[in-house]
Chain A
Amino acid sequence: MQIGIDIGGTFTDLVLLAEQGVTVLKVPSTPANPTASAVEGLRQLRDEYGVDLSQVELICHGTTVATNTLIERTGARTALITTAGFRDLLEIGEMKRHAEALYNIQYQRPEPLIPRARIFEVAERVTVGGQVLQPLDRGAVQALGARLRELEVEAVAVCLLFSFAFPDHEQAVREILQAELPDAVFYLSSEICPVIHEYRRLTTTCISAYVGPKVRQYLNRMRTSLAEFGADDRLYIMQSNGGITSPALAWDAPGTLVLSGPAGGVTYCHHLGESLGLPNLLSFDMGGTSCDVSMVHGSQPVETTGKRVEGLPLHLPSIDIVTIGAGGGSLAWVDEGGALRVGPRSAGADPGPVCYGRGGTQPTVTDINLLGGVLNPERRLGGKVALNAELARQALREKIATPLGLAPEEAVAGIMRIVNNHMAVATRMVSVNQGLDPRDFALVAFGGGGPCHVTYVAEELGIPWVVVPAYPGLTSAYGLIIAGVKHDISRTWMRPMATLDPADLAAVLGEMEAHGREAVTRIGVAPESLQFQRTIEMRYTGQNYNIDVPLAEAAPDRTALDRLVESFHQQHFTLYGFQVPTAAVEIVNLRVRTLAPPAVAHGGPGGPGGAFDTRTATPAATRPGLTPTGEQVTYGIYNRDRLAAGDVITGPAIVEQTDTTTVVPGGWLGTVEPGGNILIGKEVWRGGNR
């Protein structure tokens, strides 16, 4: 028995997976004290569904606590210790102006995570090769203790130059200062992110230290709450890399939780692709203010180490999620130059779309979907909010149609096209930046808004299949259960391929594996179930950006190295359109991921498909509406709850359910497959492995 808990801004979703099947539960979130809603959900499972929670094997949780701490700047009083002469690395950053400041001479830098007053230097210096040029001034470090106490420092980040090659000085700093500050937590760059490039290592360590105490506190509270159910030792946390870990390991590396929230959805998507036989998926999670796009390629979620949070590099493997400012609440507006724009500003939850009748006056995407006949004016959105079409119509006329001299229908259709194009462009960026053709992918829509738009995005990009999962609102919670344990270790290990001795590489990979095995078995995973994934970050000697090349062998020989180089050339070609077979190739970093398979072997929603009979479903009702190209159509209206496996919906149609509305445009067919997912394509879905 496993439970996934996804705490969102409005609702907390729980999914319970047991031999008997799946139970889902939605309770209102309690943003002031997020654990309260989780506890409430668990109580309901116990009291109303009679679940014996002490028998649960795993309670997995995706949390936004790390992200929110960063965005709201509510992290720990953090100090930073650097090599003498380098106090200002964090403030100077990359020195260039980012896009928002390029021409804006009134720009203000965001508040730093750590003010200069809490940044200190220690005399020491190590060279490129890891040799000590100047020994650490231990006395000076000791003397810092009093100052840090005076400043009431809660967390300390330590980032010294070349510590990835020589971690001893950072370790000594911690040892000395820990004695002076017994209550503070320490994060060393040589442990958090031991790779070359001091700025990325520094920001990753500072982010970790800044969110660390909050994360600890939160996880402790969550664990304590679970004691009520006799399950406090069963808590696991989702990480940015799409794998789960124990609170103990998360405390040591809290930076790995920054994308904990959205990672569950991507993991679900991965699972869905496997069960449907679709190895390449682009997932679309559209909420009220934004839309998260991510990718599964070759049955693997696409990851990056180039993520930025709050403008700072977070150099840890994480699922590559691109967020665009297009959600249900995104505002449509006419700018001063007379152009029609949608987003990035949003009406948010308050006042929300005009049609919610809570004082909004600028039309939003949700208003447009209502006016275009996509949303049912009689239904209540999410089962709760009544919609007022008249208000929306009025706002559209005043703010958009009249100023632009467009008929209201033209304005509605136009705004739909712009939103769909924003999403299409973002989707393209995600795939094309990886050198991949979006037409080789299927789109998966979740979140409340995704299924309204996703098929039009597919049409724009030439994508053949769209998947709308059985419960688009519960994908994140479900994804938490089916993710296995993942533990990542990185190391800078710069070697030219031409003269590399395979035995040296095997030795260092073996060492990294041993560390991974040790960490994961410490949290109770059986050592015999472990698998290891090795990634070699390579580049042409002289380049700066690395390409991740997988290495299958634990102990590579010469032939394996030749294959590795060959794959590097191929990947360079895929990504950038050329390769240089004669150029020297080098290794920069090594990564080893330790994986334990998920406890879940059985299906759940979106379980295995198989052959099935199809029949044309008949709509329960019809409704007039508009398409993005401005055509008047009559939508057939279907109720998702009444659809059965094998039902085929002919577009133009709309499928309604509590948590979302799905549009099947004209010319498209929606097939309900045995797992309950709707597969939208130009033909009837006949099963996977295409």
Chain B
Amino acid sequence: MATVDPITFEVIRNSLIHTAAEMKTIVMRTAYSTLWRESGDLSCGILTTRGEVVAQGPEDLPVHLTSMPFSLQGALRRIPLETIEPGDVLFHNDPRWGNNHLPDCLMAKPVFVDGQIIAFTAVRGHWTDIGGSGPGSYTTVTRELIQEGLCIPPIKIYKRGELDMELVDFIMANVRGTEQRMADMRSQFAGCVSGERKIFELARRYGADVLTQSMEDLLDYSERMTRKEIEQIPDGTYHAVDFSDGDGVTDKPIRIEVTVTIKGSDVTVDFTGSSPQVIGGMNAPIAVTASAAQYAIKAMADPWNPANSGSYRPVRIIAPEGSVANPRPGAAVVGANHETGNVMVDAIFAALSAAAPERVKAPAAASAVVVVFGGEDRRPGRAGRTFIYNEPHGASWGARLDKDGINGMRCGLGNTGNHAVEIVETEYPVRIRSYGLVPDAGGPGRARGGLPVQRVYEVLSECLVTLVAERSRIAPPGLLGGQPGGLARYVLNPGTDREQVLFSKTLPLELAAGDVLLVQAGGGGGMGPAAERSPDRVREDLANGYVTPAHAAKEYGVTP
């Protein structure tokens, strides 16, 4: 086995990270769906033949990357390495084979050097539609996985360099917006190829053995870095419980219980005590549960170093089979990715607030607040074209020990951007009436929770809308004496006689032209007692309109 000197190691490390970034640039610039090109709901990675992520794009989604190993390892269980030939490309989306949920489709291209696979380049993207019961394939109000859309177990979508059009036609016949899906798939492939080219170059330059050894060293290195930080957190067993609103099939809250044990540089995250698996799509496949735990520990312990699978090695997961944290195969799962998963993240931070309060953040929106509109675009010149408009909103940070929560910024497992208002109104029969922060919705505390975002839509033609969100029943808790953040609100036709308050998860609902939908995520929880907040900071918040005079008087006892 080759040994790699520290200089070559550093050079290869730097090159691998840039390679993943280049891959994402290529995919975003060529994709058609707004979810990719505007929001960047996709991630790129370079993986070892064991399916460990070595390098990822610098702004990628944590949930895509932490779950990517499960997904590729699943694919390799069905299609063993030795059966893969040059030019083959793997593709799948099936949670029964390690994937997180159906919309996130994995494309992975093996990189062959001298007849041997030395790595995979992979692009994981959230397809705007994957079939199933409504446009955007995004309702948790289902009873089983196959209602959620087309399940694609691991397949070779390219065989020896040839795109298998039979498979592609079959897939395209089962999803909405075929032209866009084709274009997005092409972008995924372009991303994989650009990564492959760069890996070739590195292998040619340094030798395949040096390159693969460097990849192994890089994983070990990240593991070392993260372990050093975990050692700073006091040993002990820490516990917390948080709740999801429920799956929408019933309105029964889902209990997320975590027990985190820190011992030296090892962490065990145990979900025993969490709810049994539920009927609707809120069950977290083990890939998602593991992602939540791994992300939370990485964020607390070692947020600075580029993430890879090595950083996740110190974390061991216990999740009882048949629970919401590890459902049996075939369970509905679509919303767990960023709903159940984000509640898990909040619960882990809450548990560890007793151990290292300066490293955590209070709970917040715990949701991607996904709103999907779909139907036919009846505007002049659009000829009734099918549209699917899927935009995530979840946006507020809980407070930190000595810092307020950030207003209107994504947190947790997801990290997609918003869509520009002018782009939305150009592309879709939707008008945005307002888009802004919600005063008083940040949980009071010595450090205030972040303000969530509220968006009010008016639809201009009849269409279906589906909601997958959180925190409308149970507010994001505060920590260490801080108050909860504001409850989320999802309201149809607010302030009219047709007003209807929605549960945070819905079936595809029929809207008529002119209907209005208000979407407001949960606010960030506060940290520390509100009475300890400095009156100057309250007055600053008053000047900026982050709190109203009435709220300042009631929660902080401060008058302007």
In the complex, how many angstroms separate the beta carbon of A345 from the nearest chain B beta carbon?
13
Find chain B residues with CB under 8 A from A199 CB: 420
| One of A6-14, A107-115, A233-241 contacting the partner | A107-115
* A89 and B435 contact, Cβ closer than 8 Å, known pairs A107-B406, A161-B421, A417-B7: yes
Q: Interface with A: B13-21, B93-101, B491-499, which one? A: B13-21
Q: Nearest Cβ in chain A — how far from B176, in angstroms?
A: 15
Name the contact of A116 in the complex, choosing from B10, B30, B546 (C-beta under 8 A): B546
**Is A33 on the interface with B (CB-CB < 8 A)?**
no
Q: Select the residue from B406, B433, B546 with max chain A CB neighbours within 10 A.
A: B406
Contact with A along B385-416 (1 / 0, CB 8 A): 00000000101010010010011111100011
A559: Cβ under 8 A from any B Cβ = no
Question: Counting CB contacts under 8 A, is A689 at the interface?
Answer: no
Q: Which residues of B contact A101 (CB under 8 A)?
A: 409
25 contacts between A and B (CB under 8 A): A91-B407, A91-B437, A92-B435, A95-B418, A96-B409, A97-B411, A102-B303, A103-B299, A103-B303, A105-B400, A106-B361, A116-B545, A117-B545, A161-B422, A337-B221, A339-B10, A340-B9, A341-B10, A404-B6, A417-B7, A433-B25, A543-B30, A544-B37, A545-B28, A575-B29
Asked if B183 is an interface residue, CB under 8 A from chain A, the answer is: yes
B10 in contact with A97 (CB, 8 Å)? no
Closest A residue to B302 by beta carbon equals A103
Tell me which residues across on chain A come within 8 A of B421, comparing CB atoms. 86, 89, 161, 198
Query: Is B77 an interface residue, CB under 8 A from the partner?
Result: no
With both beta carbons as reference points, the residue of chain B lying nearest to A405 in the complex is identified as B6
B436 touches A162 (CB 8 A): no
List B contacts of A422 (CB < 8 A): 14
The interface residues of chain B lying within 8 Å CB-to-CB of A575 are: 29
- Contact between chains at A337 and B222 (CB < 8 Å): yes
Q: Is the CB of B359 within 8 A of A106?
A: yes
Say which residue of B300, B395, B434 sits within 8 Å of A86 (CB atoms).
B434
Q: Is B5 an interface residue (CB 8 A)?
A: yes
B38 touches A103 (CB 8 A): no
A105 to B303, CA, bound (A): 8
In the complex, A576 has a CB within 8 A of chain B:
yes
Does B453 touch A at the CB level, under 8 Å?
A: yes
CB distance from B65 to the nearest CB of A (A): 10
A621 at the interface (CB under 8 A from B): no
Is the beta-carbon distance between B194 and A577 smaller than 8 angstroms?
A: yes
Q: CA of A91 to CA of B436 in the docked complex: distance in angstroms?
A: 9
Pick from A105, A117, A429: contact of B22, CB below 8 A: A429
Known A88-B407, A96-B416, A337-B305; 15 more pairs at CB < 8 Å? A86-B421, A88-B435, A91-B407, A95-B418, A95-B453, A96-B59, A102-B59, A103-B307, A115-B544, A198-B422, A339-B6, A339-B10, A540-B32, A543-B29, A543-B30
A433 CA / B423 CA spacing, docked (Å):
25
CA distance A129 to B407 in the complex (A): 32
Tell yes or no: B40 within 8 A of A by CB. Answer: yes
B190 at the interface (CB under 8 A from A): yes
Q: Shortest Cβ distance from A293 into chain B, in angstroms? A: 13
- In Å, the complex CA distance between A85 and B458 comes to 13
Q: Is the CB of B180 within 8 A of A542?
A: yes
B26 touches A414 (CB 8 A): no
| Interface-centre pick from A92, A197, A429 (highest chain B CB count, 10 A) | A92
A432 CB within 8 Å of chain B = yes
Residue B256, interface by CB 8 Å: no
- CB distance B435 to A418 under 8 Å? no
Taking A95-B418, A96-B410, A545-B37 as contacts, is the C-beta distance between A417 and B11 under 8 angstroms?
A: yes
Interface residue A104 (Cβ < 8 Å from any Cβ of B): yes
Q: Does A196 lie at the interface of the complex (its beta carbon under 8 Å from any beta carbon of B)?
A: yes
Residues on A with C-beta less than 8 A from B11 are 417-418, 421
Query: Which residues of A lie under 8 Å from residue B123 when comparing CB positions?
Result: none
Within the complex, the shortest CB–CB distance from B161 to chain A, in Å, comes to: 15
* Docked-complex contact A414 and B5, CB < 8 angstroms: yes
Within 8 Å CB of A543, what residues of B? 29-32, 37
Question: How many chain-A residues does the 8 Å CB contact rule pick out?
Answer: 69
Quick check: B416 and A106 within 8 Å, CB to CB?
Answer: no
Evaluate contact between B22 and A433: CB separation under 8 angstroms: yes
Decide: B28 and A418 in contact? CB cutoff 8 A. no
Interchain CB contact (< 8 A) of B62 among A103, A429, A544 = A103
Nearest chain A CB to B362's CB is how many angstroms away?
Answer: 10
Give Cα A633–Cα B393 distance, bound, in whole angstroms: 60
A98 interface contact, C-beta 8 A? yes
CA distance A406 to B10 in the complex (A): 15
Residue ID in chain A nearest B300 by CB atoms: A105
User: Does the CB pair A127–B299 fall under 8 Å?
Assistant: no
Q: Which residue of B lies closest to A86 (CB)?
A: B435
Q: Beta-carbon contacts of A419-459 to B below 8 Å, as 1s and 0s?
A: 00110010011001100000000000000000000000000
Across the two chains, which residue of chain B brings its CB closest to A112? B544
Taken together as a complex, chains A and B put the C-alpha atoms of A97 and B415 apart, in Å, by 6
**Contact of A85 with B417 at beta-carbon distance under 8 Å, contacts A340-B10, A543-B30, A544-B38 already known:** no
**B460 CB to closest chain A CB, in angstroms?**
10
B126 within 8 A of A: no
Are A95 and B417 in touch, CB under 8 angstroms?
A: yes
Of the residues B6, B30, B417, contact of A96 by C-beta under 8 Å: B417
Contact of A128 among B417, B425, B436 (CB under 8 A): B425
Residues on the A chain within 8 Å of B408, using CB = 88, 91-93, 95
Q: Which single residue of chain A is at the shortest CB-CB distance from B223?
A: A337
A104 touches B59 (CB 8 A): no
Cα–Cα distance between A105 and B527 once the two chains are bound (Å): 14
In the complex, the answer to whether B18 meets A102 with C-beta atoms within 8 Å is: no
Residue A311 at the chain B interface, CB threshold 8 Å: no
B366 contacts chain A at the CB level, 8 A cutoff = no
CA distance A421 to B16 in the complex (A): 12
**Binary contact readout A316-352 vs B (1 if CB under 8 angstroms, 0 otherwise):** 0000000000000000000111111110000000000
**By CB atoms of chain A within 10 A, which of B179, B190, B422 has the most?**
B422
Task: Write out the residue numbers on chain A whose beta carbons fall within 8 Å of the beta carbon of B423.
Answer: 196-197, 544
Query: Are A339 and B9 in contact, with the CB atoms below 8 A?
Result: yes
Q: Do the beta carbons of B437 and A99 come within 8 Å of each other?
A: no
Q: Which residues of B contact A88 (CB under 8 A)?
A: 407-408, 435-437, 453
A94 CB–B CB distance under 8 Å: yes
Tell whether, in the assembled complex, residue B14 and residue A421 are in contact, meaning their CB atoms are under 8 Å apart: yes
Measured between beta carbons, the chain A residues less than 8 angstroms from B431 are 127
Q: Which A residues touch B302, using CB under 8 A?
A: 103
B543 at the interface (CB under 8 A from A): yes
Q: A428 — which chain B residues lie within 8 A by C-beta? A: 18
Give residues 71-92 of A contacting B (CB, 8 Å). Answer: 84-89, 91-92
Interface membership of A612, Cβ < 8 A:
no
Give chain A nearest CB distance to B552 CB in angstroms.
15
Asked if B313 is at the interface of the complex by the 8 Å CB criterion, the answer is no
Query: B186 to A578, Cβ gap below 8 A?
Result: yes
Given the complex of chains A and B, what is the CA–CA distance between A98 and B418 in angstroms? Answer: 13
Report the Cα distance A336→B225, complex, angstroms: 6
Q: Is B224 an interface residue (CB 8 A)?
A: yes
Tell me if B252 is interfacial: C-beta within 8 Å of chain A: no
**Considering only CB atoms, which chain B residue lies closest to A418 in the complex?**
B10
B544-A338 in contact (CB<8A): no
Instruction: Say if the beta carbon of B330 comes within 8 Å of chain A.
Output: no
The 8 closest A-B pairs by CB, nearest first: A85-B434, A544-B37, A414-B7, A103-B303, A99-B58, A104-B303, A92-B408, A542-B32
Given contacts A339-B9, A542-B32, A577-B194, contact A104 B299 (CB under 8 A): yes
Give B337-372 as 1s and 0s: 1 = Cβ < 8 Å from A's Cβ atoms. Answer: 000000000000100000000111100000000000
Chain A residues whose C-beta falls within 8 Å of the C-beta of B304 in the assembled complex: 103-104
User: Which residues of chain B are near A106, meaning CB under 8 Å?
Assistant: 303, 358-359, 361, 400, 403
How far apart are B400's CB and chain A's nearest CB, in angstroms?
Answer: 6
Which B residues are CB-close (under 8 A) to A107?
A: 406
Residues of B within 8 Å of A341, CB to CB, are 10
Q: Quick one: given A115-B544, A421-B11, A578-B186, are A103 and B418 in contact (CB under 8 Å)?
A: no
Are A95 and B409 closer than 8 Å at their CB atoms?
A: yes
Question: What's the minimum C-beta distance from B91 to chain A, rounded to whole angstroms?
Answer: 18
Q: Does B426 contact A (CB under 8 A)?
A: yes
Contact flag A87-B406 (CB < 8 Å), given A94-B418, A96-B417: no
